[in-house]
Each structure stands twice: as C-alpha cells, then as structure tokens.
C-alpha cells in the first residue's frame, strides 16, 4: 500500500511539473520594443471648476506605468497637458459620451489619456481603455478615474494592458480549464495565466481571502478539477494590493501585437 501511494504521489508530482513546464515557463527572451510613446493628458474640470489632480500626480502614475512595462522596453512620456473645461465630461455617462469626447479632443498618433471623476459603465473600477487601441491612430484612448491616478498606481497599467490587446484573466467566467488544455482559445487566451473562474456578478470574497491574497474558491472547472488561479495578475479583478504585474506570456502578447500593427504611434 505504501508503495502504491508513493508511486501515485510521484505520478501526480510529475504531472504538475510537466504542466508547469509546458504552460508557466518563460521560454524565449521577451521582445524589446525600444519605443517611447507620447502621451497627451486631458484633465476634465469638475462641476466646481476644479481639476482634482495635479500634474505631479499624473507623472507619478506614468512613472509606475514605465516600471510595469520596462520588461518589453516600452516607455511612456507626457508630451502635453490639456484642460477640458466642459464639466459634462467629468462623469461620462455612457459609451456614446466617450465617443463624443474622442471626436472633440482626441490628438492623433499619440496615446490619449483622459482624467475624469468616474466611469460607472465600465467593468474596470479605474476606468476604461480602447481594446487594442495602440493600433488606432485617429481614435480611442484611456479614461482614467482621477482617484486612481492619485491613490492607486496599478489602475493605469491594467488599462494599458487592454490598450495593448490583453483581456481580463477571468474572461469567459470559467470556460478555461484548470489544466490549461484549452488555454489558447478560452479565458484570456494566454497559457501562462492560470484559469480564472471569477464572474463580475459574484462576490469577490467567495474567491479570495484579501488578508493574505489566497485563492479560496471551492468550485470545479468543466473537467471536475480545482482551479489554481493566481490572484497576483494585474489583469485580474482581484484586489490591487494583491497584484504584482504581468506574466511572460502577457508581455509577449502586448509586444507582438504592437510590432504587427499596421500603424505605429509617435
């Protein structure tokens, strides 16, 4: 009996090692974009005429962005601050108002960062980003809640991840299997980000112990296996205090998307 359990343990251990080797190793070196992106910052005044954020606050957020994107040699530099005096856009009510902002204020060939009071219609607590917007020269951009530029430096890297073509790790709400056998077609379609079953309609506390960032969800995937979700991924919905950054595969996806885009930002 002891021999049987020893053999079983070795088999299970070998499976996990093989799986980890297949899906979670760094593999080839990361691409180096060697690119400095120009950012136009639009700060929208509120109903009292206040900006609600300083240029130093925004620069600190950009500095944090540069830290997270350094592994692919991507840098961001503010080329201009602009003020929008129309307080209607301090709380854009819907996607239509966001499109109207782009028509009126978007600066072509650069990343447009709009700082507003809040964005209530987006899944992301810190704002909204045009998916794959890095390839859009004449439209798109990032809406960032001013609060996130002051108090939380991970909101902007998360949104920039979308801008460079990343999905949320929990995309599909549990369609990706824990063993990674459908990782290229389900979830965020990146194989070194473990399957994430979280759904926005669920209570986040059913998935994570925020005190120690431990994943606690007891449910199974479609194969009847437990999830091995990482709560540290910056593209997840888990508390930003738990988030550490991007994975190797996410860096590869962002770099490759930019390099293959037909147009290039200034």
Q: Are residues 40 and 128 in the same domain?
A: yes
Angle at 47 between CA 116 and CA 121, to 5 degrees: 40
Q: Is residue 198 part of a domain?
A: yes
Q: Are residues 135 and 254 in the same domain?
A: yes
**Which two structure tokens, joined as six digits, stand for 63?**
């500095």
Residue among 122, 65, 126, 76 at smallest CA distance from 98: 122
Q: Is residue 30 part of a domain?
A: no
Q: For residue 104, give its domain range.
A: 35-166+249-260
Q: Are residues 233 and 125 in the same domain?
A: no
Q: Is residue 238 part of a domain?
A: yes
Q: Is residue 58 part of a domain?
A: yes
Q: Are residues 63 and 146 in the same domain?
A: yes
Residues of the chain with pLDDT under 50: 1-25
* Residue-level length of the chain: 266
Q: Are residues 65 and 189 in the same domain?
A: no
Q: Is residue 24 part of a domain?
A: no
Phi, psi (rounded to 5 degrees) for 219: -75, 170
Q: For residues 11 and 9, what is the distance between their CA atoms, to the nearest angstrom?
A: 5
β partners of residue 144: 115, 127
Q: Is residue 13 part of a domain?
A: no
Q: Are residues 191 and 103 in the same domain?
A: no
Token look-up 């297949």 returns 22
Q: For residues 48 and 32, what is the distance between their CA atoms, to the nearest angstrom?
A: 44
CATH number at residue 99: 3.40.390.10
Q: For residues 211 and 9, what is the distance between their CA atoms, to the nearest angstrom?
A: 31
What was the pLDDT predicted at 265?
A: 86
Q: Are residues 63 and 157 in the same domain?
A: yes
Domain count, the chain: 2
Q: For residues 109 and 2, what is the distance between their CA atoms, to the nearest angstrom?
A: 67
Q: Are residues 197 and 219 in the same domain?
A: yes
Q: Is residue 27 part of a domain?
A: no
Q: Are residues 84 and 181 in the same domain?
A: no
Task: Measure the CA dihedral 167/74/246/111, to 10°.
Answer: -30
Is the Cβ–Cβ distance between 111 and 76 less than 8 Å?
yes
What was the pLDDT predicted at 174?
A: 86
β partners of residue 236: none
| DSSP strand pairing (208-209 vs 127-129) | unpaired
What was the pLDDT predicted at 26?
A: 61
Q: Is residue 184 part of a domain?
A: yes
Q: Are residues 241 and 254 in the same domain?
A: no
Q: Are residues 145 and 62 in the same domain?
A: yes
β partners of residue 74: 35
What was the pLDDT predicted at 263?
A: 86
Q: Are residues 148 and 218 in the same domain?
A: no
Question: Can you say whether residue 238 is alpha, beta or left, with left for phi > 0 and alpha for psi between -120 and 50 degrees?
Answer: beta
Residue among 105, 116, 101 at smallest CA distance from 45: 116
| DSSP strand pairing (142-145 vs 127-129) | antiparallel
């Amino acid at each position: 009996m002891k021999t049987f359990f020893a053999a079983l343990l070795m088999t299970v251990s070998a499976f996990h090692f093989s799986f980890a080797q297949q899906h979670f190793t760094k593999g080839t070196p990361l691409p180096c974009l060697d690119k400095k992106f120009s950012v136009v910052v639009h700060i929208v005044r509120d109903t009292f005429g206040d900006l609600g954020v300083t240029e130093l606050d925004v620069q600190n957020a950009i500095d944090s962005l540069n830290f997270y994107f350094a592994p692919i040699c991507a840098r961001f530099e503010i080329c201009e601050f602009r003020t929008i005096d129309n307080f209607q856009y301090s709380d854009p009510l819907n996607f239509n108002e966001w499109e109207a902002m782009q028509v009126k204020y978007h600066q072509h060939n650069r990343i447009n960062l709009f700082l507003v009071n809040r964005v209530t219609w987006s899944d992301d607590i810190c704002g909204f980003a045009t998916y794959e917007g890095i390839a859009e020269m004449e439209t798109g951009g990032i809406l960032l809640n001013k609060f996130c530029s002051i108090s939380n430096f991970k909101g902007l890297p998360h949104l920039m991840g979308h801008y460079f073509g990343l999905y949320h790790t929990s995309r599909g709400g549990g369609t990706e299997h824990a063993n990674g056998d459908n990782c290229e077609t389900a979830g965020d379609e990146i194989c070194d980000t473990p399957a994430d079953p979280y759904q926005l309609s669920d209570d986040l506390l059913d998935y994570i112990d925020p005190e120690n960032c431990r994943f606690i969800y007891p449910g199974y995937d479609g194969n009847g296996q437990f999830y091995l979700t990482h709560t540290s991924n910056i593209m997840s919905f888990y508390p930003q205090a738990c988030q550490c950054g991007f994975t190797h595969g996410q860096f590869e996806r962002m770099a490759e998307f930019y390099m293959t885009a037909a147009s290039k930002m200034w």
